[in-house]
Amino acid sequence: MSLQALILALMLLAASPAEAGSPRSHALLLAPEWEQAAQRAKERRAAWREVFESLEADPAECEAVVFPELLRYSRVQDGVEQAALLALYVQGGKAKADFSVGMFQMKPSFVEQVETAWMRSPLRHAFKLYFDTADNREQRSRRIRRLADERWQCVYLAVFVRLLMEREPSLATLPAGERVRLLATAYNFSFTAPLGELRLRQSRKTFHLDLLPSRKTAYYAYAGIAAEWFAVTDTSRIETPAMERLPASL
């Protein structure tokens, strides 16, 4: 089913008197941002899939985890924040600047956590992927250049997923939709939060699309958006060619 057909079906369902008391889908509540984000994902899915599969992370689950970020991604705002990071983060680290940048809206502090955890994991040898985690201007500059590269954001996302799956083996035994909700909660809330806390937080409505929240700001459950997108796009693991290589080192 195409996205347009899905949205039309949901609109008809929402208009039905028999369903008057049921919750409206995020596709309806967040239109037209939903359609714009869906188009972004569709255009980039093949390239993303290559990187995710190169690190043996499920492409549909990875995409769902960051789909809420696509809803509020702004190219203009992102350019401003990248410039600020270049000027401030490179000089003084995350204490000076820790903005979310790129289509997946990753913060330098998040990437630092992921890099450090990866370099303590045997996975680094299995995939021959290594990071220099030294806290100096050179490495901070390299980190910002990677964050500005969409393929490297895919690498960081896949690494994040692999590390959580390694830390919490029970995630592999869950239904895919439930696993997506927990991974998405960890991505939005905390990379280091224990599984029990993620379960408690997965339904909390703390995510919004406004640049600056106000009294009129609408809040949503990040995990709920991710799970809905996963339900729309997961097509029983369609096979695609494997990734030839990771992005060139920066």
CATH code, domain carrying 92: 1.10.530
- Determine the structural domain holding residue 214 and report its residue range: 27-233
More confidently predicted of 205 and 21: 205
**Distance separating alpha carbons of residues 139 and 144, to the nearest angstrom:** 9
**Residue 88 resides in a domain:** yes
Rounded mean pLDDT, 19-23: 42
Looking at this protein, which amino acid is placed at residue 77?
Q
Q: Is residue 22 part of a domain?
A: no
DSSP string over 94-132:
TTT----BTTTTB-HHHHHHHHHHHHTSTHHHHHT----
Inform me whether the pLDDT recorded for 58 exceeds 60: yes
Task: Tell me if 168 sits within 8 A of 185, measured CB to CB.
Answer: no
Burial class (CB in 10 A: 0-12, 13-18, 19+), 159: buried
Tens digit of each residue's pLDDT (9 = 90 or more) over 194-226 = 999 999 999 999 999 988 889 999 999 999 999
Q: How many structural domains comprise the chain?
A: 1
pLDDT for residue 226: 97
The answer to the question of residue 199 being in a domain is yes
Mean pLDDT of 137-162: 95
Buried b / exposed e over 197-207, threshold 16 CB at 10 Å, is ebeebbebeeb
The pLDDT tens digits of the residues spanning 169-203 come to 999 999 999 999 999 999 999 999 999 999 999 99
Domain-located, residue 245: no
Specify if 8 maps to a domain: no
Percent of the chain with pLDDT over 90: 69
Residue 14 covered by a domain:
no
Predicted TM-score (pTM) above 0.95:
no
pLDDT tens readout for residues 59-99: 999 999 999 999 998 776 788 788 888 888 899 999 998 98
